[in-house]
Amino acid sequence: MIDVVINFDSERKEFKLYEPTTDTLLITTSLGETFAKLDEFLKDRGLIASNILSTVDINYHIDSPTFIAMVKSNADLLKRLNNAPSGFMISSNRFGISQGQSSLSDSYKEKSRGKRKSATFSKTSFNNSNKKFGNNS
Q: What is the pLDDT of residues 11-29, one digit of tens each?
A: 999 999 999 999 999 999 9
Which of the listed ranges 46-50, 89-93, 114-118 does the model predict with the highest average pLDDT? 46-50
pLDDT at 111 over 80: no
CA angle 96, 101, 105 (to 5 degrees): 70
How high is the pLDDT of residue 4? 95
> What is the fold, at CATH topology level, of the domain defined by 2-83?
Double Stranded RNA Binding Domain (3.30.160)
More confident call, 38 vs 70? 38
Mean pLDDT taken over the chain:
80
Percent of the chain with pLDDT over 90: 42
Q: How far is CA 70 from CA 1, 11, 38, 77, 78, in A?
A: 23, 18, 16, 11, 12
